[in-house]
Structure 1
């Protein structure tokens, strides 16, 4: 078990004081058998009234109604979580890999619904040929095929940091053989659905115990990966950016059908057009050395605080 501290700071800057519309935030994870939320605080530099709800996927949603104007808005989320090592993929109910092609039950097919969009529909010829070659190279069970797909994306595609909010289509990512973690997650999901798997998008954070020397990509910002539903195993995590499978380095915050539904913070401002200067995002994930020193769980609050100094560059998953 790892106990981890996560700090996610977002700062918006404007050329003049502006007011704000409602901001929708997906920053608090839900407890599971793999991860327990020990401590969570949410602080804003401008006073706000918070409303807590769940979305259609069961994610925790916080809506902030801000009071007043400012030329700099800072939102800081601090989490402390306990992350447990996952069960090995081979340890299913049957003690073996899941047979491929999959045979979802009628209930599973209904419940997976849109997570199966594109199932069985071929891609354009070049991408389809690549998918068929990957399938042939990793013939066998479903987990072996998905693990092979994850590793081939990790080894054959180049990671890049992109500041645009959009996510590339599978065809675009394949054509460029490069992308950000959200592009690789969307590409993996598209291929998995093509092969008949129910797959969904995951947004969260990456823990790099080396502090940047391990070669892991995506630390220092929000991170994105995929989950695939396997009968007997449930939802299994695949991070094609780093070649990770069911890893305790992944800290899940939200799951959605498509990437655009998983933005950590979304909102608007009211002011002169062109007043927006920029957005700065910084994420730190650190191990808590002594679990005995961990604080007890407080309620989430939105309290006024001094605006934080932003990181030197914006980073986006």
Structure 2
């Protein structure tokens, strides 16, 4: 994936009169040891009446010696070259075993050949004091060199210095500032004083604007840029000359094109020579232009191609509107870690600590970018065979009409943060919420862990092991037992409120009932899932089918008009008076009527208050409960985690979710009905994923790119069932399927490496 660039460098001298030029030496041709491939090179000299002789100096650098037989009013040097900017790994070299650790000694014959590059100047006290910090004893050579150039990068402030010549190392250290050539010469002397052969290098520096901003450190230039630059090279046995750039604190890469490498800076000047005394106007200009770019992951399309895609999308949009198709498009893009793509959780396993943390980071960024007044829901998702617990799901819900579902984000607790709330705080929250609902506190059912079951489990353990012992086969079970025994089994685990709407959507009226158990206490089903999933519902009073209060999913065809609930309604509504509790009668063999079997639960887990919401039929009921919970959380200053049942599906409420899948995380985005929204959604999603340290690529063993390995599904439909083009025209679905079958190239286009049942 190469980028080819064209560099143009023009140097002009304009004299006030016609002058005689002595021989001029031009050192502006890439040196033989340049690792960046030079595709073409040309040197144009003005005046045209001149003689040119190409030479190589004692170090092998290319020199152009120019002779001018006539006087001239101008002297111009124009360099044009093209280079292949393929990425170069600066650490791609081997060292001789004797040179792997510093200090080391050169072989006598090699040291003799390197003598010009070992000649060190007489050090000053300031210089000697500075290099004391670089004393090493069997330090890896690469680490030693990196620490040296990083120190110079941090200690010497870079500045553009237009004066000719190079500062002495002492002057640079005293001023703590200098140009690139000053830092390079200082580094050369430091290396020589440490017994390392080093040389001064002058060359071109090409910096290209990155496709995406860096996640680690500075992103570099904001536009393509080139200039003359200077750095140092050190000779390492086995590796040869290795470039070190103290200005950036990095080893040299594809952007460093050496022109001249010499023992002393004066013999590395780009242009040197004699001219008779005369006033002169000097100028130079450097430009860099990309003329070829291979498609790559970070920039698969040129700007022209991308604009063509955008225009085509708008044309398709216009066709869909004209033909009244009413199509919506959603999707399920997948992502992997940008740093740990070879880890098990990014290849085979569905769950992992890093996966959860990165998902949470992305979730927060998307919530802030896509939504306003939204609700964070932390629930349980799919449960697959062989997995001990259902997978987690992070979901965000917001209303299309812009009315907030949840106003104050500070009252939504971070599911991973540590808090110090207790079970007593959970009881306080429940009491306050129940009073706000106009219900009596006697309806609250206190839940306990099943002490008899856990005592039985503990008795079955080997006599020489305790519940917390890691030697137990079932790690989850051992951790569960240890936690329960530490937290005292006899204390309440949480609180449940049987809850159902006794009114209509327009006038919600919550009702409750008393739960009666044979044991006089509500013992939860064994496990460590949320309390709401472990309630002993089969121990409630028996009811006939026709006597049971049931929650039915709302008819999606009835979801029309505005949502008939606004959070401000609670402010204007009269304060509900607490009704007298109704005692539940226990009649042997008789069906219990009005027995509510769904409940809202409040419990403390790891210091956080968790609210488990019951299932409801209408979105208005759910929003009413959420508003009351937020009101209670605000009055008590208790941030909460919302879990349990998600809101009932309603086309007037949008959502996005992040869930784990084997090897990836999956983002379920909200469907959109026009091209501009889809472009904004897609671009913003991948931007935020990048800044969350998530990527969309992996590498095969041979270095080839591959996708995440996830499904990356596209979801087609309509805003509501009656608007779905596939329900309005069932033949359309058959047409899509048969078109795909009749054009197998589409399968090859989207399948990646595999085709068929293994994909």
TM range (shorter): 0.7 to 0.9
Moved more, 189-198 or 38-47: 38-47
Q: Distance in 1 between matches of 2:221 and 2:148?
A: 20
Q: Is it true that 1:258 corresponds to 2:264 in the alignment?
A: yes
Moved more, 2-11 or 167-176: 2-11
Match of 2:245 in 1: 239
Once the two structures are superposed, the pairs formed by residues 117-196 of structure 1 within 5 Å of their partners are 117-118=119-120, 123-135=123-135, 140-196=139-195
Over 3 Å counting, the alpha-carbon distance change for 1:88 and 1:9 in structure 2 is closer
Q: Is the 8 A contact 1:51 1:64 kept in 2?
A: yes
Q: Distance in 2 between matches of 1:16 and 1:88?
A: 49
Q: Is it true that 1:204 corresponds to 2:207 in the alignment?
A: no
Choose from 221, 234, 242 the match for 1:228.
234
Match of 2:284 in 1: 281
Q: Is the 8 A contact 1:122 1:128 kept in 2?
A: no
Q: Distance in 2 between matches of 1:161 and 1:36?
A: 29
Q: Distance in 2 between matches of 1:122 and 1:12?
A: 38
SS in 2 for 1:56: coil
Over 3 Å counting, the alpha-carbon distance change for 1:91 and 1:257 in structure 2 is closer
Moved more, 123-132 or 145-154: 123-132
Q: Distance in 1 between matches of 2:92 and 2:52?
A: 43
Match of 2:115 in 1: 113
Q: Is it true that 1:20 corresponds to 2:26 in the alignment?
A: no
Over 3 Å counting, the alpha-carbon distance change for 1:287 and 1:71 in structure 2 is same
Can you list the C-alpha shifts for 1:245-295, whole angstroms capped at 9, x where unaligned? Answer: 03111011111111100011112223xx3x22232222233443258xxxx
Moved more, 176-185 or 19-28: 19-28
Choose from 99, 102, 126 the match for 2:101.
99
Q: Distance in 2 between matches of 1:33 and 1:77?
A: 17
Q: Is the 8 A contact 1:97 1:143 kept in 2?
A: no
Can you list the C-alpha shifts for 1:56-95, whole angstroms capped at 9, x where unaligned? Answer: 1111111111243332221111112335544453751569
RMSD: 2.7
Q: Is it true that 1:46 corresponds to 2:52 in the alignment?
A: no
* Structure 1 residue 43: Cα displacement: 1.1
Higher relative contact order (CA 8 A, sep 6+): 1
Question: Normalized per residue, which structure has more helix?
Answer: 2
Over 3 Å counting, the alpha-carbon distance change for 1:61 and 1:68 in structure 2 is same
Match of 2:649 in 1: none
Q: Distance in 1 between matches of 2:119 and 2:159?
A: 27
User: TM-score, with normalisation over the residues of structure 1?
Assistant: 0.80
* Structure 1 residue 19: Cα displacement: 2.4
Q: How many residues align?
A: 283
Once the two structures are superposed, the pairs formed by residues 77-96 of structure 1 within 5 Å of their partners are 77-89=79-91, 91-93=93-95
Match of 2:632 in 1: none
Match of 1:300 in 2: none
Q: Is the 8 A contact 2:15 2:281 kept in 1?
A: yes
Q: Distance in 2 between matches of 1:88 and 1:52?
A: 30
SS in 2 for 1:152: helix
Q: Distance in 1 between matches of 2:22 and 2:96?
A: 52
Can you give the 5+ residue segments of structure 2 that lack an aligned partner in the other structure? 211-218, 295-759
Can you list the C-alpha shifts for 1:114-149, whole angstroms capped at 9, x where unaligned? Answer: 10112xx8833333222112446x971222111111
Match of 2:732 in 1: none
Match of 1:8 in 2: 9
Over 3 Å counting, the alpha-carbon distance change for 1:215 and 1:173 in structure 2 is farther
Q: Distance in 2 between matches of 1:59 and 1:224?
A: 15
Over 3 Å counting, the alpha-carbon distance change for 1:43 and 1:251 in structure 2 is same
Can you give the 5+ residue segments of structure 1 that lack an aligned partner in the other structure? 292-317
Q: Distance in 2 between matches of 1:83 and 1:290?
A: 10
Moved more, 64-73 or 121-130: 121-130
SS in 1 for 2:102: coil
Can you list the C-alpha shifts for 1:19-50, whole angstroms capped at 9, x where unaligned? Answer: 21111111112444723332111112212111
Q: Distance in 1 between matches of 2:96 and 2:109?
A: 20
Once the two structures are superposed, the pairs formed by residues 55-70 of structure 1 within 5 Å of their partners are 55-70=57-72
Q: Is the 8 A contact 2:9 2:79 kept in 1?
A: yes
* Structure 1 residue 15: Cα displacement: 1.3
Q: Distance in 2 between matches of 1:140 and 1:122?
A: 26
SS in 2 for 1:13: strand
SS in 2 for 1:103: coil
* Structure 1 residue 96: Cα displacement: 11
Q: Is the 8 A contact 1:5 1:288 kept in 2?
A: yes
Q: Is the 8 A contact 2:203 2:228 kept in 1?
A: yes
